Structure 1
Amino acid sequence: MAMAHGYPMAVIWNPSIRKSGDIVMSSKYDWSMYNTIVGFGVCPSTFDVKLVKITYIKDDDPFYDSTQVEVFTLSSGAWKSLSINLPRESIRFTQDYSMDLDGFIYWLAIDHDGDAEGKTEGHNMIMSFDMRSENFIEISLPRSLVDADYTHLSISKWMESLVVLEYNLRARKPDYNVWMMKDGVQKSFAKLFTIEAPEAPIRRVLRFRKSGEPIITMHSSRYDVLGVYHYEPNSRHISYIRICTDWPDSHLASSYTDTLLLLDQ
């Protein structure tokens, strides 16, 4: 995301053809009042690029209103408002990062729909957006991942499947458990493996390689550097990728597929 004349702006970049395109968001925002979540994907039936923008006033604002959903399609070059909404107003997205897979855009979210006295902190869930029908679908997580108080979650792609990374803050030695969603949106998850480095705690799991092996950030005593490493789950062997950092959260990684998108734009 970037800014242009006070308006937020999204930049789509295709490294295959070294071409980018700017998309001005539909309105200005007071960031102290609004939360805005953006998702990116390509519709598999039309091969059209879509941006989904979800905007809602922060919960502590006295003029709290319903969530607004807008979709930008590259072929039309315009935004449109959707009449559909989230299943419940109590659903809030926990991170701006989204995952595009098999015609769906996925986000992690928390449902704050508690009991009558408001004692419940909420529970983790996944929201998906069907780029064909342009409808939201609610995806439940396994019971062990639902507790929003003690479990930090993130999403990624593993071998062309959506996975949830669980970082359990209650564990004596916190590691990352990898859960794979099976059968598309059928709400079925299976635990694949645990990412546990033998010499130091893992700071973050950035992404998975095509082979399914994770790329992580950690401070290795062997290399004596805080940096980016390749991790082999079976042997738990780590290899330094020669990328170091003073800030463990300063690196991002994303999957990449050759495409001709933007060629005629």
Structure 2
Amino acid sequence: MSDNIPFELQGEIIKWVDVKSLLKFRSVSKEWKSLIDSPEFAADYCVHQSPPHRLLIRFLWSQAALDGVIYWHAFEMIKVDNGTFRHHNLIMSFDLNSEGFEEVCLPDNLARLYKERLSIHKRMESLVVLEIIKTGTSYGVWMMEQGVTKSFTKLFNVTTWDSHFFKVHGFLKNGEPVVSHGYGSVTLFAYDPYSEKFKDLVIIGRCVSLSVNSYMETLLLIDQ
């Protein structure tokens, strides 16, 4: 920006630009960085921008985000012939762009399982359902076909090599499941579905505090 423009006026002008541009402008000069980082500028910026309302969603069940859509495991109570009720699993989705909700139906064999035996995850660029076939020993991985909300294909099973308890926590970038093995103190392994072999990731932790999550690299600063 031209040095002929007073600094105070420069500050008023940049209050109208977007956040990503402001982050870049912090590198222009020490004066701009000091201005943009100041609480007074942040307060005025919010007034000038009049940002649209944002939706914050918190899930207690498993969830995954894919292509601007958030999916989460849900269930409903279905009345059966004898007058009792049973759980019926399904997947709900929320499109962040259209702000619309949709229901994704599961195959009958998955819909009828106890809700605790299912979880959903992102595997590479696909949504998958993780089925507990037998607690601590065997899991099934089902993939939702792209563009077909009611079609699921079983990809493979993950089965332990001995009698020790194990659990599938998520997936690596290459699609291999990440599993923990053992009681109390557990070790993380990657499972190759083609060779059916486990690779030690040399990560050890306590099962009660172990969590595996995916992340995305960003230029946004944590403290801003």
TM-score (norm 2): 0.66
CA distance in 2, matches of 1:151, 1:189: 19
CA distance in 1, matches of 2:186, 2:182: 4
Alpha-carbon shift at residue 141 of structure 1 (Å):
0.4
Give the secondary structure class of the aligned counterpart of 1:132: coil
Matched, 1:236 2:196: yes
Q: In structure 2, give the amino acid aligned to 1:76.
A: P
Instruction: Provide the alpha-carbon RMSD of the alignment.
Output: 3.4
Alpha-carbon shift at residue 184 of structure 1 (Å):
3.4
Give the secondary structure class of the aligned counterpart of 2:71: strand
Q: In structure 1, give the amino acid aligned to 2:76.
A: D
Give the secondary structure class of the aligned counterpart of 2:114: coil
Q: In structure 2, give the amino acid aligned to 1:107.
A: W
- In the TM superposition, 1:82-101 aligns within 5 A as 95-101=60-66
Runs of at least 4 residues of structure 1 off by over 6 A?
A: none
* Paired residues, number: 175
CA distance in 2, matches of 1:99, 1:149: 20
Flag the structure with more relative contact order, 1 or 2, with Cα contacts below 8 A and sequence separation at least 6: 1
Q: Which residue of 1 aligns with 2:98?
A: 133
Q: Deviations over 1:80-126 (max 9, x none)?
A: 79xxxxxxxxxxx9943321101110110111142587512221110
| Equivalent residue for 2:108, pick from 125, 143, 147 | 143
Long gaps (5+) in structure 1 = 1-16, 18-74, 82-92
Matched, 1:227 2:190: no
TM-score (norm 1): 0.56
Matched, 1:253 2:212: yes
Aligned in 2, Cα 1:179/1:241: closer, same or farther, shift over 3 Å? same
Say whether the 8 Å CA contact 2:170–2:212 is kept in structure 1: yes
CA distance in 2, matches of 1:189, 1:80: 29
What is the aligned-residue identity percentage? 39
Q: In structure 2, give the amino acid aligned to 1:226.
A: V
- Which one has a larger percent strand, Structure 1 or Structure 2? 1
In our comparison, the structure showing a higher alpha carbon Rg is: 2
